[in-house]
Structure 1
Amino acid sequence: MSLTIQKSFAEAQGTPYGKLYLVATPIGNLEDMTYRAVRTLREADIIAAEDTRQTRKLLTHFEISPGKLLSYHEHNKAASGPELIRFIIEGKNLALVSDAGLPAISDPGSDLVKLAVEAGISVIPIPGANAALSALIVSGLPTERFQFIGFLPRDSKERDVLLRSLEDEASTLLLYESPHRVIKTLEAILEAWGDRRVVLARELTKRYEEMARGRVSDCLTWLTEHPPLGEYCLVVEGADPAKVKERKDAWWQELSIEAHVRHYEEEQNLSRKEAMKKAASDRGMTKRDVYKLLL
């Protein structure tokens, strides 16, 4: 039997293990910090941080000793992770924090959690602010079902493959993006998913918090006039199930793109260019995408 049960606050039986606490930190406003998070950081034997400089400022603000601060990030996790697990096995309580928000979401904390679970260590969440959910609840888009995508792949081909795989996803989609890539990401979304409703949330909980709500094309126009600043959370409308069904039931659904274009050339005597344009419109694609697939 492979089932394991964690009793987070029961006394350990036969093991001196400490615990791994996942502590949420502010995503902007220091008042996002909970009383429980402050107490957990004060009581922890070790605090592992993605960016020790950033965390040192947080600890100083809440008058917590930075002497127990250790570094754990993407570039040292292979060596640092097992060492941190060893400390916990020896009986030390470890608090893990990320730069902002909940640890283990879009950061290497998930790898440490995996090691801890495999070692039989109790992993305890200390909840708090989260940028994606904060953006979702103020977006005005459906919140009943949503999917968190995180950061899209940097490689354009991998990014486009991922976006295409989510083309028919009906739930609201949540993404993170940096200011220097947000325009390219919106352009890719426009090509893959069409001109859906979207919310660009930035500087969440900070003084210059801002939400831009509109269609993807509206947001692209806005960003040409207001250059991107700060980290963004994108909340994108899911696919319309009726339109997805209509497309899947369409007469051309079983045709290859080549056959689809050839149909318009032969049956309607259209030029290659016009046939590609019509096929692209049927499929909710751009003419450029059809051209690429026909190369």
Structure 2
Amino acid sequence: MKGQLYLIPNTLGESPIERNLPQDTIDIIRSIKHFVVENVRSARRFLKKVDKNIDIDDLTFFVLDKHTNPNDIPGFLKPAYNGNKLGLLSEAGCPGVADPGADVVKLAHENKVQVIPLVGPSSILLSVMASGLNGQSFAFNGYIPLKKGEVGKHIKHLEERSIREKQTQLFIEAPYRNIKVLQEILAACRPQTRLCIACDITLETEFIQTKTIAQWKSKLPEINKRPAIFLILG
């Protein structure tokens, strides 16, 4: 009998495990001995936060990142083929959502390994919930293009799509580029377009506010080098 692939959410920053994960999720994590992770060091640190008594040396880790050879990925599922529990752990938030883990989940389905998503934080869903924008129709667009001259054009395209489809558009940027992207948003979008900035979600420094572009121009928030999601609705 084959095992199961558990999709394990991670905290969104240095916040207490008990604030982010229900007890059932914690109990399941404790029972898993094989993990697919993006970074072994941060995965070990997370697991020790879950339970300081976990024997890290007794665990097996498979690394899935941008350097992973696609031909190696099928081998990651061997523990599940042998009847063991396999955990897919994201660096932050939920595996398979804006995350390379989707490739492992795809193979699990193809090979009839049961896939079980566990409850935990998703910055995408939490930001939509708190934005007051359209939660019936929204799209996550990942990172903004980095090529010079394309940032403003891309944001304008997302605003037009938002207006046309009445759909909230979400996107992110590397924390150190937050201010630059915010300036591009304010320059590209219409005054009446609503913009939600959701920063440090679930942390003590959490900041979530929605205003029109015109209102944001009067005072910019301090979000430099802080994980943030931007949501617009024209």
Could you tell me the TM-score, scaled by structure 2's length?
Answer: 0.82
> Identical aligned pairs, as a percentage?
27
Higher helix fraction: Structure 1 or Structure 2? 1
> How many aligned positions are there?
222
Alignment match of 2:45 (pick from 36, 54, 57): 57
**Structure 2 Cα separation of the partners of residues 111 and 158 of structure 1:** 29
Structure 1 segments unaligned to the other structure (5+ residues): 1-15, 240-295
The Cα shift of 1:41 comes to 1.3
1:184 and 2:180 matched: yes
1:109 and 2:109 matched: no
Mapping for residues 1-295 of structure 1, pairs under 5 Å: 16-28=1-13, 29=15, 30=17, 31-63=19-51, 64-67=54-57, 68-70=59-61, 71-76=63-68, 78-156=70-148, 159=151, 162-166=154-158, 167-169=160-162, 170-195=166-191, 196-216=193-213, 218-219=215-216, 222-223=219-220, 226=222, 228-237=224-233, 239=234
**Structure 2 Cα separation of the partners of residues 159 and 82 of structure 1:** 37
Structure 2 segments unaligned to the other structure (5+ residues): none
Amino acid corresponding to residue 100 of structure 1 in structure 2: A
Q: Which residue matches 1:291?
A: none
- Residues 163 and 137 of structure 1: is their aligned pair in 2 closer, same or farther, counting only changes over 3 Å? same
Higher relative contact order (CA 8 A, sep 6+): 2
Whether contact under 8 Å (2:141, 2:171) holds in the other structure is yes
The higher radius of gyration belongs to: 1
Amino acid corresponding to residue 181 of structure 1 in structure 2: R
Whether contact under 8 Å (2:195, 2:211) holds in the other structure is yes
Amino acid corresponding to residue 96 of structure 2 in structure 1: A
- Residues 178 and 119 of structure 1: is their aligned pair in 2 closer, same or farther, counting only changes over 3 Å? same
- Residues 119 and 193 of structure 1: is their aligned pair in 2 closer, same or farther, counting only changes over 3 Å? farther
Amino acid corresponding to residue 203 of structure 2 in structure 1: K
- Residues 210 and 163 of structure 1: is their aligned pair in 2 closer, same or farther, counting only changes over 3 Å? closer
Higher strand fraction: Structure 1 or Structure 2? 2
- Residues 65 and 47 of structure 1: is their aligned pair in 2 closer, same or farther, counting only changes over 3 Å? farther
**Structure 2 Cα separation of the partners of residues 217 and 229 of structure 1:** 24
Alignment RMSD (CA, Å): 2.5
- Residues 20 and 186 of structure 1: is their aligned pair in 2 closer, same or farther, counting only changes over 3 Å? same
The Cα shift of 1:192 comes to 4.5
**Structure 1 Cα separation of the partners of residues 55 and 148 of structure 2:** 44
Whether contact under 8 Å (1:52, 1:69) holds in the other structure is no
Could you tell me the TM-score, scaled by structure 1's length?
Answer: 0.66
**Structure 2 Cα separation of the partners of residues 54 and 209 of structure 1:** 22
Q: Which residue matches 1:10?
A: none
